[in-house]
Amino acid sequence: ARFIIESGVDTPRAMEILYHFSFDELNKIVTLKVLLPKDRCEVESIAPVIPGASWIEREIAELLGVKFLNHPDPRRLLLAEDWPEGEFPLRQEVRENQ
């Protein structure tokens, strides 16, 4: 299988992490979904095994507040250095409070 992309979705009940893989020889795409409780948004990073996932995991971490355990490079990627710690712009509660 070939890694395509990883995505994060904030749903009312949980944070979803979706891992998309392509089986090119079969012309199929498979998506694996991991549900994370909102009060403990942590999941093991796949970046040590699939380096191409590094930047998207950093993006998901910044924008949705998911902690990727054992990520090889957890530095900020998109948000300004003065962005408030603990505020995640794509979280539903942020949008609802504005």
The DSSP annotation for 14-53 comes to: EEEEEEEEEEGGGTEEEEEEEEEETT--EEE-STTT-GGG
Between 3.30.460.80, 3.20.20.150, 3.40.50.720, 3.10.20.90, what CATH number should domain 2-96 receive?
Answer: 3.30.460.80
Query: In the predicted model, is pLDDT for residue 28 greater than 60?
Result: yes
Query: In the predicted model, is pLDDT for residue 93 greater than 90?
Result: no
Please report how many Cα atoms fall inside a 13 Å half-sphere around the Cα of residue 54, on the Cβ side.
12
Structure tokens given for 77: 């990627």
33-81: per-residue pLDDT in tens?
999 999 999 999 999 999 999 999 999 999 999 999 999 999 999 999 9
* pTM of the predicted structure, to 2 decimals: 0.91
Mean confidence (pLDDT) of the chain: 94
